Structure 1
């Protein structure tokens, strides 16, 4: 496994921990039709945190486990910042983990 795959796995674990610490980890899986959205971030069927938990994180773990090619660019932190900006919860740790992932995947 490459160093980059290991680093991605570590960030994903930290991201999940940050989400759990802030009670952003959902207990119920959304219905299959919500997970089948073809919109960016499944914005039409899921909240941003649901998208992270049920689509993005599992897909990234799958790429790591299969030692598959990782995305060559990533820009999720700006979306997270916009999502959390009007919220009462301070989710700086989640945004910071996503920024770490963005930097790692966007660096050759």
Structure 2
């Protein structure tokens, strides 16, 4: 007998140029402000620009990094320092793959 399964995929398409406030980034990713602040402190996530008079802003790349960080924290129970390292290594892998494709 052939079973049919229907699944739902939820996604959000964001351009790289879109900017988020801290609150918006937390809301888009389901991450708490405390958790995000810890990841920022460890260097896993970096605000696009910060000045004394402005609230930190984040770009589309930050959105992807926070979502990946959240999965690493939840699925693998990695701490903030480990998440920063893992995200840096994933970035390096992406750069190396891009270089291979150009050859």
What TM-score do the two structures reach when normalised by structure 2?
Answer: 0.27
Greater C-alpha radius of gyration: 2
Greater relative contact order (Cα < 8 A, sep 6+): 1
What TM-score do the two structures reach when normalised by structure 1?
Answer: 0.26
